A and B are shown apart, each in its own frame.
Chain A
């Protein structure tokens, strides 16, 4: 530790202004501050600072994602071997899935961080930590067999167009991970929908056992074949086909617990999303003119990317509403729109992604009205005071 510190101190002059490698200053600082919290002390203002920083914040979200990631690895193996009709154990399933997912994670981080480092260097800023989370979210919302070049392209698009052109972490309008998914969804729909892409090996033409379909609950529902849906408990546990990290509601709820207990994720948004879906879902249950509308509303919570979107995507503080009242409205609308998109628009079986992206765009407007109410209250108070 000490020798490492000494090496860094020795190298540092080369990377500062005037040094041989000053063009790589941000990269060096990024690595240095990753290993050692800087020795910078407070100057003006508060003399003490909370030990939390962006790195800690982001790492908490990564920890919250771990249950979903681990279960995703297991489920990838499980679905694969089920499809080709081989009996396997938990470890074998997990190992198969792990080897499938690892390249996705590596590609996502290498491409994304590469761009982040470059952008930070161009601006002369320190490196933002936002991508630590985005880089893990992207593989988790992809079909496991997505080609790596496609993933790389989507990641690059999300980071450059979704984030960096607005000024980097904290300035973006859309959730970067969902931007990546939406990019693939519209550019390569063949790889993002259908019955084959969700299970490793199927898209490459591997033989399946008779009677195995690979259809996701979303696809079944959209086709009004709700009687073929897996049981609620199966979907809740997550042993169903779907994107890598989205299938297990229970793993996602564990993550939600971490986010809420640490105070990093907004429980208001999460609850809002579930509440909104509940409201619209019950309304559909009342109308009930087709099998999808008749589907018990709580099925929506465990199907597709709903829970994952509510817990990890909608709560992204940068693209969400920023006022506390606004967060309720934002969450409720996402939940409501998710169910509407799912049930009323069969062209897009999954509505959560689009609902969140749509509300990302509207979040500033929601905040605007919330803040206007505060402004009006203040002006009214001033008027009353003036008249007295």
Chain B
């Protein structure tokens, strides 16, 4: 029986710059960057130096705490630069693309897939980090077996790419093989969650071994954390794994073609993009070719991912490991004269305290201004309206702030990730850094539990 759940809580930002369903072509950047900071909690150990030759699928760094987990280069070429930040924190490893060598992996047909070979292949090729676990929303531990696996088949975040469009432009056979490979990793079910409001995509034809559920409602109805919470919630000691939709294709390709080729169809979005549309490129590729000549003028913020959870990049920065969207919005570094008192025809707000509430259909140009100063928690009951989970957000946040482990556990820290709280952060009138607090709580749990 397919589960069908309609969520009421949440919020769709009325933000302009939605991508048109146009496939603008393949992009072949000269530079690629792999960013250890894409993986929260990771302590990377680098294994290349500038000048080294690498092939697609050969290791750049690995997890110091679990050395079997490799992070590999998406292309063949030469390591150009190792970028470090404060206290020598490893930020980026830049590879200049040269040639077309692939580290070769054995092709395995669907019938011969088993847990051991799948695990080995994923670890060696650099695709293992595509599998993340709940609790904590970090790269899964390959020595564990999850009670189930979740794949979200749609994205509700602001200006998100349309997965139906992506699957239409991708190789369905890879997806089927990917699902078969992932299914070997769990004794439980593989859950594919689709948008209940749309026609199911074609990939479903002939797809076996998955449990399909339907979710509908405003963002974050597409978040995998929300799906897990409603279908198979994580209790203390349990593990649930999740894989991004497009990584399923990459995993399938690894077994069908024996190569690591993390292809993504990426939506270029945002109000400052002249032609927001879709491109095909590899994970880690430079976004510069896509942005070139396609931007409006002004002081801009470039984001790999969406405006709520994405990471800030330079205009010649690199697509994040888990991202299939690039967003460009204006910076908000201006002083607004009596801004808090303005009627606010051009300001989208969750509350109906601005004149924009009179025009529910309009789309707005969002910028990066804070619109106020940080305060203590004052207003109550707002976070709950955008968090479709049976969790008391403010009390969980307060438990994290006072580092009360037992209370965090009791209030559901195992079930959440920062992305689930991104909307709470957006609407917070006290301008509290909620996603950072959640990650801090998760880091604390990881430290205390190991």
Q: Which residues of chain A have C-beta atoms less than 8 A from B347's C-beta? A: 51
In the bound complex, do residue A50 and residue B335 qualify as a contact, i.e. CB atoms below 8 Å apart? no
Asked whether any CB of chain B lies closer than 8 Å to the CB of A60, the reply is yes
* Interface residues as binary, A224-237 with B (CB distance below 8 Å gives 1, 0 otherwise): 00000000000000
In the bound complex, do residue B351 and residue A169 qualify as a contact, i.e. CB atoms below 8 Å apart? no
**Bound: A266/B379 CA distance, A:** 10
Asked whether any CB of chain B lies closer than 8 Å to the CB of A204, the reply is no
Total contacts A-B at CB 8 Å: 214
Asked whether any CB of chain B lies closer than 8 Å to the CB of A10, the reply is no
In the bound complex, do residue A48 and residue B13 qualify as a contact, i.e. CB atoms below 8 Å apart? yes
Asked whether any CB of chain A lies closer than 8 Å to the CB of B206, the reply is no
Which of these, B13, B381, B390, B435, contacts A45 with CB under 8 Å? B435
What's the nearest-Cβ distance from chain B to residue A62, in Å? 11
Asked whether any CB of chain A lies closer than 8 Å to the CB of B294, the reply is no
In the bound complex, do residue A262 and residue B372 qualify as a contact, i.e. CB atoms below 8 Å apart? no
Asked whether any CB of chain B lies closer than 8 Å to the CB of A170, the reply is yes
Q: Which residues of chain A have C-beta atoms less than 8 A from B329's C-beta? A: 47-48
In the bound complex, do residue B351 and residue A318 qualify as a contact, i.e. CB atoms below 8 Å apart? no
In the bound complex, do residue B370 and residue A57 qualify as a contact, i.e. CB atoms below 8 Å apart? no
Interface of B: prevailing SS: loop
Interface stretch of the complex, out of B63-71, B130-138, B251-259, B420-428 = B420-428
Give the nearest-CB partner of A385 in chain B: B235
**Bound: A169/B433 CA distance, A:** 18
Asked whether any CB of chain A lies closer than 8 Å to the CB of B290, the reply is no
Asked whether any CB of chain A lies closer than 8 Å to the CB of B4, the reply is no
In the bound complex, do residue A56 and residue B429 qualify as a contact, i.e. CB atoms below 8 Å apart? yes
Asked whether any CB of chain A lies closer than 8 Å to the CB of B412, the reply is yes
In the bound complex, do residue A47 and residue B410 qualify as a contact, i.e. CB atoms below 8 Å apart? no
Known: A54-B429, A263-B351, A371-B395. A324 touches B381 (CB 8 A): yes
In the bound complex, do residue A170 and residue B377 qualify as a contact, i.e. CB atoms below 8 Å apart? yes
Asked whether any CB of chain B lies closer than 8 Å to the CB of A20, the reply is no
What's the nearest-Cβ distance from chain B to residue A267, in Å? 10
Chain A's interface size range is 35 or more
Q: Which residues of chain A have C-beta atoms less than 8 A from B390's C-beta? A: 374, 377
Interface stretch of the complex, out of A31-39, A90-98, A243-251 = A31-39
Asked whether any CB of chain B lies closer than 8 Å to the CB of A343, the reply is no
What's the nearest-Cβ distance from chain A to residue B355, in Å? 11
What's the nearest-Cβ distance from chain A to residue B290, in Å? 19
Q: Which residues of chain A have C-beta atoms less than 8 A from B205's C-beta? A: none
Asked whether any CB of chain A lies closer than 8 Å to the CB of B230, the reply is no
Of A130, A168, A322, most buried by chain B (CB within 10 Å of CB) is A322
Interface stretch of the complex, out of B164-172, B196-204, B280-288, B304-312 = B304-312
Asked whether any CB of chain B lies closer than 8 Å to the CB of A16, the reply is no
**Bound: A262/B371 CA distance, A:** 18
**Bound: A39/B154 CA distance, A:** 35
* Interface residues as binary, A24-53 with B (CB distance below 8 Å gives 1, 0 otherwise): 000000000101111111111111111111
* Interface residues as binary, B408-449 with A (CB distance below 8 Å gives 1, 0 otherwise): 001110000010001001111111011110000000000000
In the bound complex, do residue B351 and residue A52 qualify as a contact, i.e. CB atoms below 8 Å apart? yes
Which of these, A41, A59, A126, A264, contacts B379 with CB under 8 Å? A264
**Bound: A262/B394 CA distance, A:** 21
In the bound complex, do residue A45 and residue B422 qualify as a contact, i.e. CB atoms below 8 Å apart? yes
Give the nearest-CB partner of A29 in chain B: B373
* Interface residues as binary, A164-175 with B (CB distance below 8 Å gives 1, 0 otherwise): 000111110000
Q: Which residues of chain B have C-beta atoms less than 8 A from A129's C-beta? A: 375
**Bound: A72/B373 CA distance, A:** 34
Asked whether any CB of chain B lies closer than 8 Å to the CB of A256, the reply is no
**Bound: A386/B236 CA distance, A:** 10
Asked whether any CB of chain B lies closer than 8 Å to the CB of A121, the reply is no
* Interface residues as binary, B312-334 with A (CB distance below 8 Å gives 1, 0 otherwise): 10000000000000010101111
Known: A41-B368, A50-B428. A36 touches B337 (CB 8 A): yes
Asked whether any CB of chain B lies closer than 8 Å to the CB of A122, the reply is no
What's the nearest-Cβ distance from chain A to residue B86, in Å? 14
Which residues A146-202 have CB closer than 8 A to chain B? 167-171
In the bound complex, do residue A262 and residue B351 qualify as a contact, i.e. CB atoms below 8 Å apart? yes
* Interface residues as binary, B372-391 with A (CB distance below 8 Å gives 1, 0 otherwise): 11111111111010000011
**Bound: A386/B235 CA distance, A:** 9
Asked whether any CB of chain B lies closer than 8 Å to the CB of A11, the reply is no
Known: A47-B329, A171-B376, A324-B384. A53 touches B412 (CB 8 A): no
Give the nearest-CB partner of A167 in chain B: B376
Known: A37-B371, A371-B395. A51 touches B332 (CB 8 A): no
Give the nearest-CB partner of B344 in chain A: A51
**Bound: A382/B336 CA distance, A:** 50
In the bound complex, do residue A47 and residue B368 qualify as a contact, i.e. CB atoms below 8 Å apart? yes
Which of these, B353, B354, B378, contacts A318 with CB under 8 Å? B378
In the bound complex, do residue A262 and residue B352 qualify as a contact, i.e. CB atoms below 8 Å apart? yes
Asked whether any CB of chain B lies closer than 8 Å to the CB of A275, the reply is no
Asked whether any CB of chain B lies closer than 8 Å to the CB of A128, the reply is yes
In the bound complex, do residue A130 and residue B353 qualify as a contact, i.e. CB atoms below 8 Å apart? no
Give the nearest-CB partner of B373 in chain A: A126
In the bound complex, do residue A55 and residue B351 qualify as a contact, i.e. CB atoms below 8 Å apart? no
Known: A37-B336, A126-B373, A317-B378. A48 touches B392 (CB 8 A): no
Of A42, A170, A378, most buried by chain B (CB within 10 Å of CB) is A42
In the bound complex, do residue B307 and residue A46 qualify as a contact, i.e. CB atoms below 8 Å apart? yes
**Bound: A367/B398 CA distance, A:** 14
**Bound: A36/B372 CA distance, A:** 10
What's the nearest-Cβ distance from chain B to residue A236, in Å? 27
Asked whether any CB of chain A lies closer than 8 Å to the CB of B109, the reply is no
Known: A35-B338, A37-B371. A52 touches B350 (CB 8 A): yes
Which of these, A37, A48, A50, A168, contacts B339 with CB under 8 Å? A37
Asked whether any CB of chain B lies closer than 8 Å to the CB of A365, the reply is no
Q: Which residues of chain A have C-beta atoms less than 8 A from B410's C-beta? A: 375, 378-379
Asked whether any CB of chain A lies closer than 8 Å to the CB of B366, the reply is yes
Q: Which residues of chain A have C-beta atoms less than 8 A from B235's C-beta? A: 378, 381-382, 385-386
**Bound: A47/B311 CA distance, A:** 9
Give the nearest-CB partner of B339 in chain A: A37
Asked whether any CB of chain A lies closer than 8 Å to the CB of B363, the reply is no
**Bound: A375/B384 CA distance, A:** 16
What's the nearest-Cβ distance from chain B to residue A54, in Å? 5
In the bound complex, do residue A54 and residue B307 qualify as a contact, i.e. CB atoms below 8 Å apart? no
Q: Which residues of chain A have C-beta atoms less than 8 A from B307's C-beta? A: 46-48
Q: Which residues of chain A have C-beta atoms less than 8 A from B332's C-beta? A: 39, 41-42
Which of these, B233, B411, B428, B435, contacts A374 with CB under 8 Å? B411
The 3 closest A-B CB pairs, nearest first, are A53-B372, A170-B376, A37-B339
Give 30 pairs: A residue, B residue, CB < 8 Å, sorted on A.
A33-B373, A35-B338, A36-B335, A36-B337, A39-B335, A41-B331, A41-B333, A42-B332, A44-B435, A45-B435, A48-B329, A49-B428, A50-B348, A50-B371, A50-B429, A52-B372, A53-B429, A54-B373, A54-B429, A56-B341, A59-B341, A128-B376, A129-B375, A169-B378, A170-B430, A263-B350, A320-B380, A322-B394, A374-B411, A375-B411
Known: A37-B371, A371-B395. 7 other contacts (CB 8 A): A41-B301, A51-B348, A53-B340, A53-B375, A126-B374, A263-B351, A381-B235
Name A's B-contacting residues (CB within 8 A). Answer: 1, 4-5, 33, 35-57, 59-60, 126, 128-130, 167-171, 261-264, 266, 317-318, 320, 322-324, 327, 367, 371, 374-375, 377-379, 381-382, 385-386
Name B's A-contacting residues (CB within 8 A). Answer: 13, 15, 158, 233, 235-236, 238, 301, 303, 307-310, 312, 327, 329, 331-341, 344, 347-354, 366-382, 384, 390-392, 394-395, 410-412, 418, 422, 425-431, 433-436
